[in-house]
């Protein structure tokens, strides 16, 4: 693990890298579940168990989560809460402690189809040609269906608007070459054909795609520019977080370049260019050096900010929030158009919610 000063010229700034599919999502995708033969997703499906000795005194929601593949514990808990589980014919709550030998009957909740369901959701199209589309993704939109987010996704909006998209990524990810976190806004490229998808994917794999992000951080950065190099792996205790983990089996090398573009007391505006494409990379690396992105629930410990909070004060009564999601925006994307062979740069302007924070910081001087 190392963090070294970076003094290279602008021409040699590190380029973004992603795997063939860059994993930047903060939601884990759940596997699909097959219902019993001949059953449709609208029919009631039940599973019956005899509680084994190994599950004695185990909570029923935990036992069912382990026994029913493809469901999160929250989904199981909600199903049990809605009178979906019976022990020896008696409806029980999610906290019920099982006893070995009891008979359990569970009404399995339906899962959505693997196919993307088109939805009429407006899209901000930055660029489009016969082979690709570049979208300015809004914060709060999940890229493809995932745990707890089966509708309102970017893929649903794309499926409604475009007749043909690549299917390299499978039925739930039509056109998706790379991804952004749900609450990260900005430019994302979509492939219309498989040939374009494969070409773009290779550019990500070969670190030929250049991405630039804009972020607002809490905490003073002692250097105007720097290269952060620290391996990232799964957090040891929190399944939805990543962490700096040197030498752990889940860890992968990660490099992030940043450059300060504005200082405002304990807040900093930064331009960020990830060299690798690890899950939550920018968020983890900035938090690692003591400058977490503001309103980042996972890594900054807060999810909203107000004018008073920018002043270092407690939130005023009935004060409106300036920002309610992580202040991270994919500002520009540079790649070679697979069909024309020309290098192209696409840009998404700073969104209104982040601009409100910038304006308040600038007013403070």
- What's the pLDDT score for residue 130? 96
Angle, vertex CA 214, rays to CA 21 and CA 316, nearest 5:
120
Per-residue pLDDT, 74:
77
Domains 1-14+207-365 and 18-30+111-206 share a fold: yes
Q: How far lies 340's CA from each of 131, 188, 211, 322, 347, in Å? A: 10, 19, 20, 42, 19
CA distance 63 to 162: 43
Tell me, rounded to whole angstroms, the distance of Cα 89 from its chain centroid.
Answer: 41
pLDDT tens digits for the chain (365 residues)? 444 332 322 222 222 322 223 333 332 222 222 222 233 344 678 899 999 998 899 999 989 988 887 677 777 888 999 999 999 999 999 999 999 999 999 998 876 555 678 899 999 999 999 999 999 999 999 997 666 566 789 999 999 999 889 988 887 789 999 999 999 999 999 999 999 999 999 999 999 999 999 999 998 899 999 999 999 999 998 888 999 999 888 899 999 999 999 999 999 999 999 999 999 999 999 999 999 999 999 999 999 999 999 988 888 888 899 999 999 999 999 999 999 999 999 999 999 999 999 999 998 76
Q: What is the reported pLDDT for 316?
A: 85
Q: Identify the bridge partners of residue 329 per DSSP, sorted by sequence position.
A: 185, 214
Range 18-30+111-206 classified under CATH 3.40.630.40: no
pLDDT for the residue numbered 78: 87
pLDDT value, residue 365: 64
pLDDT score for 168: 86
Count of CA atoms in the C-beta half-sphere (13 A) of 281 = 30
Domain map (residue ranges) of the chain: 1-14+207-365, 18-30+111-206, 45-108
Range 1-14+207-365 has CATH code 3.30.2350.10: yes
Say if residues 286 and 233 touch (Cβ distance below 8 Å). no
* pLDDT of amino acid 148: 57
Q: What is the pLDDT of residue 22?
A: 36
Structure confidence at residue 202 (pLDDT): 94
Q: Which residues does the annotation mark as catalytic?
A: 181
Please give the CATH superfamily to which domain 45-108 belongs. RNA-binding S4 domain (3.10.290.10)
The pLDDT, as a whole number, for residue 111 is 65
Is-contact 109 96, C-beta < 8 A?
Answer: no
Confidence (pLDDT) at 31: 27
pLDDT score of 146: 65
């Amino acid at each position: 693990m190392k963090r070294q000063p970076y003094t290279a010229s602008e021409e040699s700034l590190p380029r973004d890298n992603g795997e063939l599919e860059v994993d930047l999502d903060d939601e884990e995708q759940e596997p699909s579940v097959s219902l019993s033969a001949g059953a449709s997703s609208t029919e009631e499906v039940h599973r019956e168990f005899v509680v084994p000795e190994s599950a004695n005194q185990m909570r029923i929601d935990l036992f069912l989560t382990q026994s029913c593949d493809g469901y999160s514990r929250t989904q199981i808990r909600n199903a049990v809460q809605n009178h979906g589980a019976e022990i020896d014919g008696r409806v029980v709550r999610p906290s019920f402690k099982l006893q070995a030998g009891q008979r359990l009957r569970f009404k399995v909740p339906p899962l959505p189809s693997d196919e993307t369901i088109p939805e009429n959701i407006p899209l901000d199209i930055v660029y489009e040609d016969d082979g690709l589309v570049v979208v300015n993704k809004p914060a709060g939109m999940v890229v493809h269906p995932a745990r707890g987010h089966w509708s309102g996704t970017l893929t649903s909006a794309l499926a409604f608007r475009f007749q043909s998209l690549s299917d390299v990524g499978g039925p739930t990810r039509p056109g998706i070459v790379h991804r952004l976190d749900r609450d990260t806004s900005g430019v994302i490229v979509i492939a219309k054909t498989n040939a374009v998808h494969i070409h773009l994917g290779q550019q990500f794999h070969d670190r030929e795609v250049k991405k630039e992000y804009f972020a607002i951080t809490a905490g003073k950065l002692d250097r105007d520019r720097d290269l952060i190099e620290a391996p990232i792996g799964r957090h040891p205790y929190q399944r939805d977080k990543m962490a700096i983990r040197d030498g752990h089996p889940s860890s992968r090398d990660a490099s992030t370049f940043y450059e300060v573009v504005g200082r405002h007391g304990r807040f900093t505006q930064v331009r960020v260019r990830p060299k690798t494409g690890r899950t939550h990379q920018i968020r983890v690396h900035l938090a690692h050096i003591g400058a977490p992105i503001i309103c980042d629930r996972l890594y900054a410990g807060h999810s909203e900010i107000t004018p008073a909070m920018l002043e270092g004060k407690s939130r005023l009564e009935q004060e409106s929030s300036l920002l309610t999601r992580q202040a991270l925006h994919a500002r520009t994307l540079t790649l070679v158009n697979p069909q024309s062979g020309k290098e192209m740069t696409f840009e998404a302007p700073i969104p209104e919610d982040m601009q409100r924070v910038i304006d308040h910081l600038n007013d403070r001087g």
